[in-house]
C-alpha cells in the first residue's frame, strides 16, 4: 500500500492492512487494483484487496 509522506503528517505512517509492517516513502511505480477478483495483474501480484500498491520499494 502506498502511504503519504510522513513529513506532511503529524502521525507516523502505518499500513491499514498490516500495522506492524515496516513502511517507506521511497518507492517507484504503482498499480491501482479496483477489482482484484477480476484482475490478471492482481492474481500475478497476489493482491486480494482493492487499493494502490507500490511496484518497487526501496528499504534502506
The pLDDT, as a whole number, for residue 17 is 73
Query: Confidence band (pLDDT; 50, 70, 90) for 9?
Result: low
Q: Write down the CATH number for the domain with range 6-57.
A: 2.20.28.90
Question: Over the stretch 12-50, which tens digit does the pLDDT of each residue have?
Answer: 667 777 778 777 778 888 899 999 999 999 999 999 999
Enter the pTM of the model.
0.59
Domain ranges of the chain: 6-57
Nearest-CA neighbor of 60 among 30, 31, 23?
A: 23
Amino acid at each position: 500500500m502506498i502511504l503519504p509522506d510522513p513529513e506532511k503528517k503529524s502521525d507516523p505512517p502505518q499500513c491499514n492492512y498490516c500495522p506492524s509492517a515496516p513502511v517507506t516513502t521511497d518507492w517507484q511505480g504503482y498499480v491501482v487494483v479496483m477489482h482484484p477478483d477480476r484482475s490478471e495483474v492482481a492474481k500475478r501480484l497476489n493482491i486480494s484487496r482493492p487499493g494502490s500498491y507500490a511496484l518497487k520499494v526501496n528499504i534502506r
